[in-house]
Amino acid sequence: MTWVLDLTGIFVFAISGALAGVRTRLDVVGMAVLAFFTAVGGGILRDVFLGVQPAALHDAGYVLVPLVAAAIVFFWHPQVTRLLPSILIFDAAGLGLFCATGTEKALLFGLSPLHAVLLGVVTAVGGGVLRDMLSGQRPTLLYDRQLYAVPAFLGAFTLAALFEFGVRGPLAVLAAAVLAFTLRFLAMRKGWRAPLARGVKDSA
């Protein structure tokens, strides 16, 4: 079940990467590259930090799913764009899932709670950072005005806290993922934004 959820999150993140390729007028190769690294980049970074072989290098699904997403966007990007509000909901779900599973994996490898939380956030937002850098955009992580990294951090923190109190396994992952998803969803619906430095005016 976790594998299916993982691939679902990868598919949604890959869609966002491919759409970024459309917006920046990349060709089909560029779209596929953005789709792949947006979808699995965070997991690859996490596994590299943990010193293990990334799952994307030994599971064909982690490669094929982003390519399928890129193909869908290549042929039907106007229709996909119209579905964007729904896709953002799945994107929020993927964010919650990845921050929780990334933190859990780091904890199981013996990392401290603090470092595990950091890797959980990397898992959730790393692909988006790579997407923005590859497409020549300022990484959204550096101006998290729409509360993207913040829900990921709180979800990862929750998973680490539950782990410390002996609550582990699918229940802990689900609780942390639901928390991160809920915060991200509410931020989108209510327009919650992270504050700027004191005295700096919001130009948005």
67-90, pLDDT tens digit by residue?
A: 999 999 999 988 887 877 777 787
- Is residue 103 assigned to a domain? yes
- Is residue 201 assigned to a domain? no
- Is residue 118 assigned to a domain? yes
Can you give the residue range of the structural domain that contains 51? 2-190
- Is residue 202 assigned to a domain? no
- Is residue 179 assigned to a domain? yes
- Is residue 106 assigned to a domain? yes
- Is residue 200 assigned to a domain? no
Contact call for residues 75 and 19 (beta carbons, < 8 A): no
pLDDT at 19: 87
- The tally of domains found in the chain comes to 1
pLDDT digit string (tens) for 24-36?
888 999 999 999 9
Q: What is the pTM of this model?
A: 0.85
C-alpha 103/C-alpha 177 separation (Å) is 11
C-alpha 111/C-alpha 97 separation (Å) is 19
- Is residue 128 assigned to a domain? yes
